[in-house]
Structure 1
Amino acid sequence: MTSNVIDVGHASSIRAMRLTHTGEDGFILYIPAEYALHVYDTLMTAGKDYGIRNAGYYALRHLRIENFFAFWGLDLDDKTSPLECGRGFRTKLDEHDDFIGKSALLRERQNGVKRRFTQFLLDDYDVHRDYWPWGGEPIYRDGQYVGLTTTCGYGFTLEKMVCLGFVGDIDNNREYVTQRNINEWVMNKNAKYEIDIAGVRFPARPGIYTPKITVQTLDPIFVPAPDRPSKES
């Protein structure tokens, strides 16, 4: 992720960050409140010749699902461990810097986690005929309950219904069992997953990484890399 301070129209001190919440390459602008409307009008005017359009916030939240992007408050909360949701790379566990919760994360990395954030693709699902999932649907592994979906939505690029959720091995006391190799457990090729949607169980294909999505466009989009100073400068 990179950022720079830019000017747009008559507005200055705008922080532009190369960051995406949908999976596509894009930017987020942090604009002083007094310049917000001016910047919006400037961008919409300049973008007319390029087909610029408004996109609703719910549309952005929907598009991130097929790219396996978690959303705070729906998929993640203050009880979610970075290792449970595949975000361990964002923590500095191997550096000397200390932070609140580091010792707990180190123990979790050593002993394993109890659940794993997983993406499921529904192959045998008809979006025009079947009921749509909305989150909170039971997930089954080899006929055993293993978790719930958190958010779901149709993947317009994958052309499949996509569900996100946490799964893990649950004992007779309805408690998650710690797994040393949770990724291997989730992705076991012999395991069969199903998601119950309105009383009907649909076969589900699991994944723990962003799926490969091929996007075809008539006109290439070029986003140049930022200039970086050399070691000599």
Structure 2
Amino acid sequence: MAELKRTPLYAEYKKLGAKTVDFGGWDLPVQFSSIKGEHEATRTKAGLFDVSHMGEVLVEGDGSLSFLQKMLTNDVSKLEPGKAQYTIMCYENGGTVDDLIVYQLETDKYLLVINAANREKDVEWLEKHQENGVSIKDLSDEYVQLALQGPKAVEILQSITKTDVSEIKFFRFIADVSIDNVKDGAIVSRTGYTGEDGFEIYLPAASGPDLWQVLLEAGDKHGIRPVGLGARDTLRFEANLALYGQELSAEISPIEAGLGFAVKTKKEDEFIGKQVLKKQKEEGPSRKLVGIEMIDKGIPRTHYEVFDGEKPIGFVTTGTQSPTLGKNVGLALLDCNYTEMGTEVTVQVRKKRLQAKVVPTPFYKR
């Protein structure tokens, strides 16, 4: 058995009695108190997440823009220093290598934030296509990443920095922000994975525990809660934010997953998978990700099959009882003929087939 990796904050959450699990080779907190309580705190007050297991890759050099235009589906030329962009890296067949956020730090200098489980694969993929004038460095072990999310996020962060964080617009960031009682400067980005307002904060690994403590202390009077993977998943699911390995994979394209907004087939650059994705965009894919809500009593879990009568028509990618809505809902990748709103289908829940219907997503909007 390979030893589980731990973030620099492991000791901090163990002090708080967190229950940890193996998540893609990392020993991470699934919950600190209760998933429902942490979910509700993030929706109504503030949640603090350690997401330091995520990968960070620096791409720089005078060929970096043309290289990233070839590797990524979104139009990287629209970036400027201080701007971030959600984008996808695809295979030639349109399947997904990974979804990620790219930050333009300076001209010809970009930080790619990738999914932890894909780190080695992503770096290999980038290096396989590396061109002259491009440097690729995996800096994942040098960073910690904390996410402060929820309606009180701005107020909490503002109380510990002189930088006006309310001025940071969505998908913008400020580099080298000074935070009280934290030695290193931080990249503060107005992004998140919960459907709430908030920030993702990157800084050198050694300063992670200090930032964690400072944020919890500053947020105490606002009802901040440390949050584990359990609520992170229910929060992103309600907001219809894709999870790699479930809504996206080597077999599922971003068009099928409803992420066409991040696939710019009209950009001049020929990116990997462009022709397949362009065809899917123009003709429509043969299957599509939709929301489903259970009519019968039961929860549509990941990988459960979906049927029309005896005919298999797709499968559930993520499903749970929504803590915010109190309903049993799921995301399902279905044959396009069954994706109209209100269409009734059945879900194989253990030994029973239970009625469900197609509903709009996201399930939650703030």
Structure 2 length normalisation: TM-score?
0.49
- Deviation at residue 212 of structure 1 after TM alignment: 5.2
* Aligned mates of 2:284, 2:295 — CA distance in 1: 31
Listed one character per residue, the Cα deviations across residues 24-68 of structure 1 (whole Å, up to 9, x for unaligned) are: 222111121011011111111212221222111222112222222
Report the equivalent of 1:50: 222
Q: Secondary structure at the match of 2:201?
A: strand
8 Å CA contact retained: 1:137, 1:197: yes
8 Å CA contact retained: 2:187, 2:202: yes
Q: Secondary structure at the match of 1:158?
A: coil
* Aligned mates of 1:68, 1:16 — CA distance in 2: 24
**Deviating 4+ runs (over 6 angstroms):** none
* Aligned mates of 1:119, 1:188 — CA distance in 2: 9
* Aligned mates of 1:117, 1:208 — CA distance in 2: 11
Listed one character per residue, the Cα deviations across residues 84-135 of structure 1 (whole Å, up to 9, x for unaligned) are: 011011011112122111122112223331211122111432xxxx5x4432
* Aligned mates of 1:133, 1:64 — CA distance in 2: 17
Report the equivalent of 2:251: 79
* Aligned mates of 2:321, 2:238 — CA distance in 1: 8
Q: Secondary structure at the match of 1:201?
A: strand
8 Å CA contact retained: 1:11, 1:39: no
Letter in 1 for 2:178: D
8 Å CA contact retained: 1:123, 1:160: no
Correspondence list, 1:71-220, <5 A = 71-125=243-297, 130=298, 132-141=299-308, 143-168=310-335, 182=336, 185-187=338-340, 189=342, 191-207=343-359, 209-211=361-363, 213=365
* Aligned mates of 2:261, 2:187 — CA distance in 1: 25
Letter in 2 for 1:154: Q
8 Å CA contact retained: 2:341, 2:360: no
Letter in 2 for 1:85: A
Structure 1 length normalisation: TM-score?
0.75
Task: Quote the sequence identity (%).
Answer: 26
Q: Secondary structure at the match of 2:191?
A: coil
Is the helix fraction higher in 1 or 2? 2
Within the candidate set 214, 227, 236, 1:64 is matched to: 236
* Aligned mates of 1:185, 1:194 — CA distance in 2: 11
Report the equivalent of 2:172: 2
* Aligned mates of 2:354, 2:190 — CA distance in 1: 38
Q: Secondary structure at the match of 2:178?
A: strand
Within the candidate set 16, 31, 38, 2:188 is matched to: 16
Report the equivalent of 1:32: 204
